Structure 1
Amino acid sequence: MPVLLRAKAHGLVVTGKNLHYEGSLTLGRDIIEAAGFYPLEKVEVYNVTNGARFTTYVIPGRPGEVVLNGAAARLGEVGDVIIVAAYECVANPASHIATIAIFEGNKLKEVRKISLSDMY
């Protein structure tokens, strides 16, 4: 089965770092809901500012919060722009729909639903 994008938050800005936390990425519940992530879900993080990429999991935080925890705190700085993406194995790609949440300053700007048919 192919692995396709399921949910993406684009344009998030890192609001904090906590090197001595056990690990993960704290996202505001508003961000989690808008993008369609699940707490404890495995995600890929792409740091647009410095090019770093890493895998972690999501934990809920306060509205607008984006905090790099544990080892991930070494991969970004407060103010960096990041993209967070979750993927899933899909049995029927033709009917798959992904959620793309676009943020500016950690405020939701737009939510798009895209399918493979939108790509052709």
Structure 2
Amino acid sequence: MQIQVLKSKLHCVTVTDANLQYIGSITIDEDLMDAANMIAGEKVQIVDNNNGERFETYIIKGDRGSGCICLNGAAARKVQIGDTVIIISYAIMDFEEAKTFKPTVVFPKPGNKL
């Protein structure tokens, strides 16, 4: 049996931009991606602590060290610049492997810095 479990999480980052005219996705500072063990194109769930929105999109790389968290396309309507969000990725794995798997959880400092 395989189950879906938490793989990694960026806990309480600040939305720095929202670009309605972009095709779609979330742009994340590449340093934050590396720290959270996330990759470009990976499906993520976004949870907005300010308004309760929950939605899914995929990651594109932002400039390293920029602190960028930008919601693009339709997702830009679900957040406001300055909102605090949690970015979550999941993995599918064998049930026995999941029992011992340790997710990567990152708690960035103000300005989305490590």
TM-score, normalisation: structure 1: 0.87
What is the alpha-carbon distance in structure 2 between the residues aligned to residue 103 and residue 10 of structure 1? 7
Gaps of at least 5 residues in structure 2 are none
The Cα RMSD (Å) is 0.8
Higher relative contact order (CA 8 A, sep 6+): 2
2:89 corresponds to 1:86: yes
SS of 2:44 mapped into structure 1: strand
User: Structure 2 counterpart of 1:103, which letter?
Assistant: P
1:41 corresponding residue in structure 2: 42
Gaps of at least 5 residues in structure 1 are 109-120
More strand by share: 1
Contact 1:90-1:96 within 8 A present in 2 as well: no
SS of 2:75 mapped into structure 1: helix
| Worse-superposed segment, 93-102 or 22-31 | 93-102
What is the alpha-carbon distance in structure 2 between the residues aligned to residue 15 and residue 94 of structure 1? 36
Shift of 1:107: 1.3
Shift of 1:90: 1.4
2:70 corresponding residue in structure 1: 67
2:79 corresponds to 1:76: yes
Pairing 1:1-120 to 2, within 5 Å after superposition: 1-62=2-63, 63-91=66-94, 92-105=97-110, 106-108=112-114
What is the alpha-carbon distance in structure 2 between the residues aligned to residue 33 and residue 93 of structure 1? 22
What is the alpha-carbon distance in structure 2 between the residues aligned to residue 7 and residue 26 of structure 1? 16
SS of 2:8 mapped into structure 1: strand
What is the alpha-carbon distance in structure 2 between the residues aligned to residue 81 and residue 38 of structure 1? 21
Aligned residues: 108
What is the alpha-carbon distance in structure 1 between the residues aligned to residue 86 and residue 108 of structure 2? 10
What is the alpha-carbon distance in structure 1 between the residues aligned to residue 50 and residue 34 of structure 2? 24
